[in-house]
Amino acid sequence: MTEVTVSPAATVPQLSAVTRVLSELPDLLAFADPESPLYWNRGDRGCVGVGEVLRLSFTGADRFVAASRAWREIAAAASIDDPVGMPGSGLVAFGTFAFADESQAESVLIVPRLLIHRHRGTAWVTEVTVTGGPSGAPAAGVAALAVGPDSGSAPQLASARSAADVLPAQRALDATAWAGVEFRPADASDGPGARGGSAVEAYLDGVREATDRVVAGELEKVVLSRQIAGDLHAGQDLRFPLLRLSERYLDCWTFAVDNLIGASPETLVRSTSGAVSARVLAGTRGRHSEDPTRDRAARDELLRSAKEQHEHDFAVQSVVSALAPHVSELRTSDAPFALQLPNVWHLATDLGAALGAEATALELVDALHPTAAVAGTPTADAVAMIAELEPFDRGRYSGAVGWIDAAGDGEWVIALRCAQVEGVGAPAAEGATAAPARLVVATAGGGIVEGSDPQHELGETVSKFRPITEAFGA
């Protein structure tokens, strides 16, 4: 894949997207790339991408706005044949964006060659090809544009006798071949995503310092995280942890975008046909599924906790304030409710609204990010303290991951309960007889407010790591 830097005078690639209904519901993971899957799924709704025709990368503070502007131009220049007309049909890009403005992690939008989609009892496939021919419109703000290896593929779907004729061969998933990943506290040797380390004691020291500074009045809340890392043996099939996450975390969006893999319970924003919704999570207790009485007690303690309710209020207010200029008829749950996940209880609030002025889903993400749930309050002070106290670059953790269509509608979640897997193709050491292992780095954190206890916060991160450690485990 050749990367080309895009200047303000650059032209927009012209894409053709053709969508057709599939007569049978597909097994999505059977079509995913075992080494680098592109996947988005929740219950009976989801999709899988095959191949890649276009990749756009972004960096810096304006990454969301630049991505939205570039996507608007690409969508306007595209030819779209979409008789399905459902969320996720037609031309769609998937994206994952870094948490911090200064992050070294690349923020990307990816357009797959084929997108196989299932929505309850309906299924369809979209084929995207590059038709060439400059439109003359600038791809403003794009740091780099990479033409994918499938950009030269000839269109097939429009002339196919059956939509199923364009589907690739299915690949069986052999669970017995999965060797698993053993995690350890990440340290500087685990690369730029873990610079300076994330030892348990260092994390506890950070929580103590953050709590002292909250008490001193520097800010009201800050979210601190820590990292663990492990090695994925070459040739391992990443569809296996995705299958585990999809089957276990039914109330979460399970995702794999550019080797960021996880299952997020928190919808940052969903925008479809003028309707906007979000889910705010803040306040956590670990589950005790083996003991129903203890588990109910943990839930009730969460609902009664003044500290957790206080932290949750910060998170809800940050989302309400950010969304308000862009929507009308904004409404929230009457009171926070306890969201039950396999690993934790969360305090949750759902929000709904009508889209006010014309805005893409990515522009709403820009307005919302970072929320108090992943940064703190006040936002600027919290982000500065995170950069000071966390000895690593968060990368895409607690950033945004999701999709956007040609109309600007889309669905974006906060990148939580996730791990970044090193890309395929790292060079083998001289004299090595096997391909090198791929580094897997997972991140989890929690909100620090007045009264936070370091050991409790550590236990919360252990609970939040569970989706990844269990999905990637042997």
Q: Is 214 helix (H, G, I), strand (E, B) or coil?
A: helix
Annotation marks residue 266 as catalytic:
yes
Gyration radius from the chain CA atoms: 22
Task: Return the amino acid letter for 262.
Answer: G
Distance, in Å, from the CA atom of 253 to the CA atom of 96, rounded to the nearest integer, reads: 14
Measured between alpha carbons, how far is 352 from 339 in angstroms, rounded to an integer?
A: 17
Angle at 88 between CA 82 and CA 93, to 5 degrees: 100
CA gap 177, 196 in Å, rounded: 34
Task: Say which of 220, 266, 363, 457 is annotated catalytic.
Answer: 266
List Cα–Cα distances, 229 to 88, 188, 190, 334, 439, in angstroms: 33, 11, 7, 40, 7
CA distance 40 to 46: 5
H-only helix segments in 78-165:
none
Q: Within 32-188, where are the H helices?
A: 63-77
Out of 221, 308, 363, 411, which one is annotated catalytic? 221
CA distances 386 to 95, 161, 202, 441, Å, are 24, 56, 13, 18
Enzyme catalytic residues: 221, 266
